[in-house]
Amino acid sequence: MKKLVITAILLGSGFMSQAQEVGIQLYSLRNQFKIDVSNTLGLINEWGISKIEGGGTYGMPLEDFKELLAQYNLKMVSVGADFGDLENDIDKVIKNAKDFGATYVMCAWVPHDDNKWDLKETQHATNVFNEAGRRLKENGLTLVYHAHGYEFRPYKNGTLFDYMAENATDFAFELDVFWAQHGGADPLALMRQYPDKMKLLHLKDMEHGIVGNNTGHEDDDTNVVLGSGQINIAGVVAEAKKLGIEYMFIEDESSRVVSQVPQSLEYLKSLD
């Protein structure tokens, strides 16, 4: 497979700033990791990706996993954290992030009853994120929340996400463009509405014809090659350039991830 050095290619086209890179969320390759951890990390390297978001070691001892990351020139710049740990065991979160040398800590889900996500739930989550974010800041880390769709339920003249964003004093957001649109929002509009609070992106496209909802659930195989679906990926990436968003992680949860990621990278390379 021809190696795609994404940072260099995008810089060469004048598209990206020196501070911006395309990475990958390791969850995309969860099924491949079950078969062979080393070969899966090697595949990411072959794609020309060097920045990753993850946080686990796929059953390996931490030091052995870190040795593989170094072998394949992969840097974990963002680690995932469970909401429960952010609320009740922040020292565990800090240690995990520091073990990997990460800069960002990302939470992607707040446990809740699917039929109930209201102002009370939103206020509680916001308070937890602000408190955890303060502790993480003290340790040189930035907390970002990855909204999953249920946050875009109506509230006053906007949504519950608006409440979170307007009251986020010590945390920011990682915008997953798939889940924002699936939940009824316009990802590009959100970036323009909250330019200082969008710190990371998940690039993920949605199959044409899919009608979203605000449950935070959808068939994984509705994830398609970037630029081939119904989400304005080109507009989002152009706005990310304006905002100086540091990392944009491809997250492809489909069963076709191994064939789709190289196509998505080629699409991103084509953007001016």
What tens digit of pLDDT does each residue of 3-40 get?
A: 333 433 333 333 344 446 999 999 999 999 999 999 99
Cα separation values, 153 from 132, 195, 216, 221, Å: 24, 21, 11, 24
**pTM, to two decimals:** 0.92
CA distance 248 to 263: 16
CA 190 to chain centroid, in Å, comes to: 15
Residue 245: pLDDT band by 50, 70, 90 thresholds?
very high
Average pLDDT over residues 199-219: 95
Tell me if 263 sits within 8 A of 225, measured CB to CB.
Answer: yes
Residue 209 exposed, middle or buried by CB count within 10 Å (0-12, 13-18, 19+): exposed
CA distance 179 to 201: 11
Residue type (1 letter), 135: R
CA distance 160 to 152: 6
CB atoms near residue 43 (< 10 Å): 18
Tell me if 201 sits within 8 A of 175, measured CB to CB.
Answer: yes
